């Protein structure tokens, strides 16, 4: 993969999720699906989309006639300070947010099967490249997307959220495989519905994903009576773009209330939200951020870190950052007086690991008292002289007593300072007691007190991801490598022949022979009929062949009603009729 300047800044734990775009695995039918959707988008969305959409297609290097190469997109995206990477389907929501924070678009490498050409719940290259990428050419929107990534990456998920993510990923994998039996898809949809009905209390991530859905995916801009589309889910779905115009789809002003509107990825949306401008999106996001653990701190933040069941970081009022898996600790009234982690824990300051305090130093967890000292002093505000006054001197035996009743005694081995204020106090032969309960014994090893009166922030993941060797749990299921049948390969060969003829790479071509093959072997392949008809119209083909195609397309519309709109839209492109969405 070719790295532009933006990609070079990505941390290793995100690069682990990046794959090479499997460009050679796209079939000629895949390219035809892309071309059909993109041409319809340009036709329909030129009137419905935000003004930056069509200009953004050019600025981001997205072609109309063929699936874009990622390396080509990146050469152009770097000019607006962004990049794109290919990933294997759905990735964890927090990782998705992190990529956005680094100005990187995540693009699912797959493309929707032809039977999902109008709408697919699975992420695919049409949704990501043709939906998200063009709008980031607008600087105000690009700023919002980056800011959303920064905020979303700080949102705590629950254990239930991860089960939901795996269920959504499983469904999307099944739907992306054209050979998946329908009963398997129905079972996966039922499982997801049952799971979503029993999610319990909404996590920060589930709430902020609602905001993401109603803006980045399904947002409208303007007024509730005069609006344009900017959400990628709408921009990449011809059906939903047109459907959103109907009065049956309620239009609501975009406010913080949108956070309480859940969404269903398997169906079209019953309501949409309209923002007056892109700057308003940041205002709503900032309002929501004020309620999050990384802003509020306190017991609420600790509870979220603990309930996540994963590595998290708690920042104390001294600036010290403790990264690990948090346990209950000791609570006195409504205050945390003793912080406790289990498993590998790392100490950092300013998002950089403190030397000597790697996670290897605390393989079984880390504990430290919080709060005021016995006589009301704040440990984090004490310098060397103030510590000496209470007997805390390197090399001396001492006792540190807290108002909570916690006492630390032993030999002071070292002290770490920042801005002349103590940050850490290291002890040997330490004993830590909470009244009559022993929390730490001398034989347990070295002990460290982290200065800090209160918890000021908490967020998922470690403060220094590289030093912690942070990584996302690999998905339980990989996307399917499509195994095409002999009949499918024969169909793809016809699409490829049609493509070569259109691009003038093949001259010995018989339209009648191709039509005979389609009618005999692939009578339902409406898109191939349209591609042949388009070429005949452009090259003054014989009327009898065009008539045969039009007659058969009319028959298909009657026998398979769900193809009617798709065929009519294709004919509109060929005959340059009035756009259906006007």
pLDDT tens sequence across 38-77: 999 888 888 899 989 988 888 887 889 999 998 888 888 8
More confident residue, 274 or 110: 274
CB-side neighbour CA atoms (13 Å) of 351 = 5
Q: How confident is the model at residue 571 (pLDDT cuts 50, 70, 90)?
A: very high
Q: How confident is the model at residue 458 (pLDDT cuts 50, 70, 90)?
A: very high
Q: Give the span between the Cα atoms of 232 and 224, in whole angstroms.
A: 19
Helices H / strands E in the chain, number of each: 23, 19
For residue 582, pLDDT over 60 is answered with: no
> Contact, 93 vs 472, CB < 8 A?
no
Range with lowest mean pLDDT among 187-191, 215-219, 296-300: 187-191
Q: Which long-range contacts (CB under 8 A, 24 or more apart) does 83-87 make?
A: 83/4, 83/6, 83/7, 84/128, 84/129, 84/133, 85/1, 85/7, 85/10, 85/18, 86/1, 86/18, 86/19, 86/20, 86/21, 86/22, 87/17, 87/18, 87/19
Q: How confident is the model at residue 577 (pLDDT cuts 50, 70, 90)?
A: low
Which residues, at least 6 apart from 188, have a Cβ–Cβ distance to it below 8 Å?
167, 170, 171, 174
Report which secondary-structure segment, H or E, holds 288: helix 278-289
464-475 residues labelled b (16+ CB within 10 A) or e (exposed):
bbebbebeeeeb
**What is the tens place of the pLDDT at every residue in 479-507?**
777 788 999 999 999 999 999 999 888 88
pLDDT recorded at residue 108: 86
Q: Is the dihedral of CA 137, 142, 146, 151 positive or negative?
A: negative
Q: Map residue 146 onto helix, strand or coil.
A: helix
Which residues, at least 6 apart from 285, have a Cβ–Cβ distance to it below 8 Å?
144, 147, 148, 151, 211
For residue 581, pLDDT over 90 is answered with: no
CB-side neighbour CA atoms (13 Å) of 538 = 13
Residue 162 is encoded by which pair of tokens? 């991860």
Report the relative pairing of strands 104-108 and 18-19 from DSSP bridges.
Answer: unpaired
- Mean pLDDT, all residues of the chain: 91
Cα Rg of the chain, angstroms: 29
Q: Give the span between the Cα atoms of 393 and 382, in whole angstroms.
A: 13
pLDDT recorded at residue 555: 96
pLDDT recorded at residue 1: 58
Residue 355 is encoded by which pair of tokens? 């030397």
Q: How confident is the model at residue 580 (pLDDT cuts 50, 70, 90)?
A: very low
- Residue 79 is classified by DSSP as G
For residue 361, pLDDT over 80 is answered with: yes
Q: How confident is the model at residue 578 (pLDDT cuts 50, 70, 90)?
A: very low
250-266 residues labelled b (16+ CB within 10 A) or e (exposed):
ebeebeeebbebebebe
> Contact, 44 vs 122, CB < 8 A?
no
> Contact, 456 vs 316, CB < 8 A?
yes
pTM: 0.88
Q: Which of 115-129, 139-153, 474-488, 565-579 has the highest mean pLDDT?
A: 139-153
pLDDT recorded at residue 18: 92
> Contact, 108 vs 22, CB < 8 A?
no
459 φ, ψ (degrees, to nearest 5): -160, 160
User: CA–CA distance from 82 to each of 4, 18, 102, 187, 285 (Å)?
Assistant: 9, 16, 8, 39, 21
Residue 134 is encoded by which pair of tokens? 């063009």
pLDDT recorded at residue 168: 84
Residue 332 is encoded by which pair of tokens? 């006195």
- Residue 384 is classified by DSSP as H
For residue 249, pLDDT over 90 is answered with: yes
pLDDT recorded at residue 242: 86
For residue 579, pLDDT over 60 is answered with: no
- To the nearest 10 degrees (0 to 180), the angle between helices 564-575 and 526-538 is 10
- Residue 376 is classified by DSSP as S
Q: Give the span between the Cα atoms of 340 and 360, in whole angstroms.
A: 17
For residue 201, pLDDT over 70 is answered with: yes
158 φ, ψ (degrees, to nearest 5): -100, 170
- To the nearest 10 degrees (0 to 180), the angle between helices 28-48 and 564-575 is 80
How many percent of the chain have pLDDT more than 90? 69
For residue 212, pLDDT over 90 is answered with: yes
pLDDT recorded at residue 158: 85
Cα angle for residues 508, 512, 514 (degrees, 5° grid) = 75
**Mean pLDDT over residues 533-548, rounded?**
91
């Amino acid at each position: 993969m070719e790295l532009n300047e933006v990609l070079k800044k990505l941390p290793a734990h995100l690069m682990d999720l990046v794959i090479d775009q499997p460009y050679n695995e796209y079939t000629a039918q895949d390219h035809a699906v892309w071309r059909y959707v993109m041409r319809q988008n340009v036709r329909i969305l030129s009137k419905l989309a935000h003004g930056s959409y069509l200009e953004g297609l050019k600025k981001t290097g997205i072609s109309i006639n063929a699936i874009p190469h990622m390396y080509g997109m990146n050469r152009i995206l770097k000019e607006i300070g962004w990049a794109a990477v290919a990933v294997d389907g759905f990735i964890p929501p927090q990782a998705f947010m992190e990529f956005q924070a680094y100005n990187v678009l995540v693009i699912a490498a797959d493309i929707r099967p032809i039977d999902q050409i109008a709408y697919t719940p699975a992420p695919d290259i049409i949704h990501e490249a043709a939906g998200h990428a063009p709008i980031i050419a607008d600087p105000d929107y690009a700023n919002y997307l980056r800011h959303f990534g920064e905020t979303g990456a700080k949102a705590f998920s629950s254990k239930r959220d991860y089960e939901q993510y795996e269920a959504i990923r499983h469904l999307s994998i099944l739907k992306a495989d054209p050979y998946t039996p329908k009963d398997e898809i129905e079972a996966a949809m039922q499982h997801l519905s049952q799971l979503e009905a029993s999610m319990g209390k909404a996590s920060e991530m589930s709430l902020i994903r609602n905001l993401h859905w109603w803006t980045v995916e399904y947002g409208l801009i303007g007024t509730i009576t005069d609006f344009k589309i900017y959400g990628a889910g709408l921009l990449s779905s011809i059906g939903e773009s047109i459907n959103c115009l109907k009065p049956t789809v309620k239009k609501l002003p975009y406010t913080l209330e949108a956070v309480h509107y859940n969404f269903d990825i398997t169906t079209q949306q019953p309501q949409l939200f309209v923002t007056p401008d892109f700057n308003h999106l940041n205002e709503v996001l900032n309002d929501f951020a004020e309620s999050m653990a990384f802003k509020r701190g306190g017991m609420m933040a600790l509870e979220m870190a603990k309930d996540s069941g994963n590595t998290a970081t708690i920042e104390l009022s001294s600036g010290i950052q403790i990264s690990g898996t948090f346990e209950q600790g000791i609570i006195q009234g409504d205050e945390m007086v003793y912080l406790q982690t289990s498993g590998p824990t790392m100490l950092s300051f300013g998002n950089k690991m403190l030397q000597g305090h790697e996670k290897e130093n605390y393989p079984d967890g880390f504990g430290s008292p919080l709060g005021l000292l016995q006589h009301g002093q704040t440990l984090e505000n004490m310098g060397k002289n103030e510590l000496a006054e209470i007997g805390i001197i390197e090399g001396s035996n001492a006792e540190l007593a807290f108002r909570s009743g916690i006492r630390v005694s032993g030999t002071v081995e070292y002290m770490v300072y920042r801005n002349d204020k103590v940050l850490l106090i290291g002890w040997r032969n330490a004993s830590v007691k909470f009244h009559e309960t022993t929390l730490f014994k001398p034989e347990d090893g070295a002990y460290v007190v982290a200065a800090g009166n209160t918890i000021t922030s908490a967020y998922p993941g470690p403060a220094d991801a590289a030093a912690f060797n942070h990584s996302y749990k690999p998905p339980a299921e990989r996307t399917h490598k499509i195994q095409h049948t002999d009949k499918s390969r024969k169909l793809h060969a016809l699409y490829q022949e049609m493509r070569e003829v259109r691009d003038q790479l093949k001259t010995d071509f018989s339209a009648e022979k191709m039509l005979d093959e389609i009618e005999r072997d692939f009578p339902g392949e409406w898109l191939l009929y349209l591609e042949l008809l388009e070429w005949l119209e452009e090259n003054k083909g014989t009327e009898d062949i065009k008539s045969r195609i039009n007659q058969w397309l009319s028959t298909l519309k009657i026998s398979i009603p769900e193809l009617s709109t798709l065929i009519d839209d294709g004919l509109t492109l060929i005959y340059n009729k009035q756009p259906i969405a006007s």
